[in-house]
A and B are shown apart, each in its own frame.
Chain A
């Protein structure tokens, strides 16, 4: 039996699939969040050097990792949409952007909360902080460009090109910022080289998995809204159960 790999690349079929998948991802995300927070707060021991403050890391590190990965995934979808002209890829790219920006913001915010007791400053012009801030700007640029073009096809393609240019530029920006920092500010504060306690690792990885599942659930929910919005004039949307009822009520 030949499998049609492209079956779910059409918004029509993907809409239903995403609807079925969202509850699962959301459910497991909630469970893993609960487990991760429990281990993080009650099981993991206090850090010898950083006291209780280090527990911010359990949300900070997953948020930072996701903010970077989501940008790459977004740029990947954008490239797919631009090259193969698939509608769904572009919709996925624009659905990922707000979640990525949110994680970048969380990462900066929790980093500042951690930095105040640890470094004695809310913000240092450290290479990592600066590149995370630039990443947030890149997300905001993508969202702003997409939002200010009215024709959705042109918006998709223009934003996709921007995302690709950004992803090519990200390594250059990252290294330039690192060199800038090391050239002018001397040594930066880094994690101590000590190996992590096993419970800390468990908490960290559980939270990371929870954040991934949360991101997938939210992106799928958002892409469903985008599909509905873009395809609102098509026959299949007007025949969807909820929407068909709605139009009957109107009439």
Chain B
């Protein structure tokens, strides 16, 4: 039998989750539509003055992305939990952390990446400058994977609980505050002519930290939830 490397496993899990997501495309679109809708509600709520909207844009888009990614987190493990796949994955001889990393990556590709791609359009709605939109996209590219990874810890802890969705947001949102601050900070910095390097470096550092620690923590959380 062919030796199964960690990379093979990672690719296998990502491909499997992407195929499953493509079979249920409605779920992907609900997250995206939610994102667009939340962002569109703000101009209705605070008034259409372009100056104010331009100032708020980064914050609104980041908060909308944060909420939208919470929405899809509940599905990260629940389907596999319900049909027993998760149990099989935990029994597998390969590292659970790698499996979890694969699921996180797939989750980001399905729920985070569409938001990043959609953000420029919404940025134009808020009359952002091209430069600001560029920084927003870079920030979102660095930040949304962190949301998926930190969120996965919450998803694993609340697995199979009643009212898990609301609880999940309560647990995960406070932990995501730094991502929000640095993401919006970068856009504010570029709008006021300051250097964006510090904010983006910090986001990058958070991403690396999250990549190293969250798969393992999530694996531990899954073990607690499944025992």
* Per-position 1/0 for B205-227, Cβ under 8 A of A: 01000000100010011001101
In the bound assembly, the distance between CA atoms of A179 and B217 in angstroms comes to 27
Q: Could you count the A-B residue pairs with CB atoms below 8 Å apart for me: how many are there?
A: 70
* Per-position 1/0 for A172-185, Cβ under 8 A of B: 11001101100110
* Per-position 1/0 for B149-171, Cβ under 8 A of A: 00001000110011100010011
Given the interface contacts A180-B185, A184-B188, does A138 sit within 8 Å of B227 by beta carbon? no
Given the interface contacts A173-B174, A180-B181, does A154 sit within 8 Å of B227 by beta carbon? yes
Chain B hits for A176, CB < 8 A: 177-178, 181-182, 202
In the bound assembly, the distance between CA atoms of A157 and B223 in angstroms comes to 10
Chain B hits for A144, CB < 8 A: 167, 170-171
Chain A hits for B161, CB < 8 A: 148-149
Chain A hits for B217, CB < 8 A: 161, 165
Tell me whether chain A's interface is mostly helix, strand or loop, or mixed.
helix
User: Is B175 at the interface (CB under 8 A from chain A)?
Assistant: yes
Most buried by A among B174, B220, B225: B174
Task: Select which of A141, A161, A184 is within 8 A of B174 by beta carbon.
Answer: A141
User: Is A80 at the interface (CB under 8 A from chain B)?
Assistant: no
Find out whether the CB atom of B220 lies under 8 angstroms from the CB atom of A179.
Answer: no
Q: Which residue of B lies closest to A168 (CB)?
A: B213
Q: Which residue of A lies closest to B184 (CB)?
A: A180
Find out whether the CB atom of B181 lies under 8 angstroms from the CB atom of A169.
Answer: no
In the bound assembly, the distance between CA atoms of A199 and B125 in angstroms comes to 59
Task: Select which of B157, B177, B188, B227 is within 8 A of A145 by beta carbon.
Answer: B157
Q: Which residue of B lies closest to A164 (CB)?
A: B217
Given the interface contacts A137-B174, A149-B161, does A161 sit within 8 Å of B221 by beta carbon? yes
Q: How near does chain A come to B88, taking the closest CB pair, in angstroms?
A: 20
Q: How near does chain B come to A140, taking the closest CB pair, in angstroms?
A: 7
User: Is A162 at the interface (CB under 8 A from chain B)?
Assistant: yes
* Per-position 1/0 for B177-204, Cβ under 8 A of A: 1100110010011000000000000100
| Sample of 14 A–B contacts (CB below 8 Å) | A134-B174, A137-B170, A141-B171, A141-B174, A161-B220, A162-B171, A165-B175, A165-B217, A166-B174, A166-B175, A168-B213, A173-B175, A173-B178, A180-B185
Q: Which 5 A-B pairs have the closest CB atoms?
A: A176-B178, A137-B174, A180-B181, A157-B224, A141-B171
Binding site for B on A (CB under 8 A): 134, 137-138, 140-141, 144-145, 148-149, 154, 157-158, 161-162, 165-166, 168-169, 172-173, 176-177, 179-180, 183-184
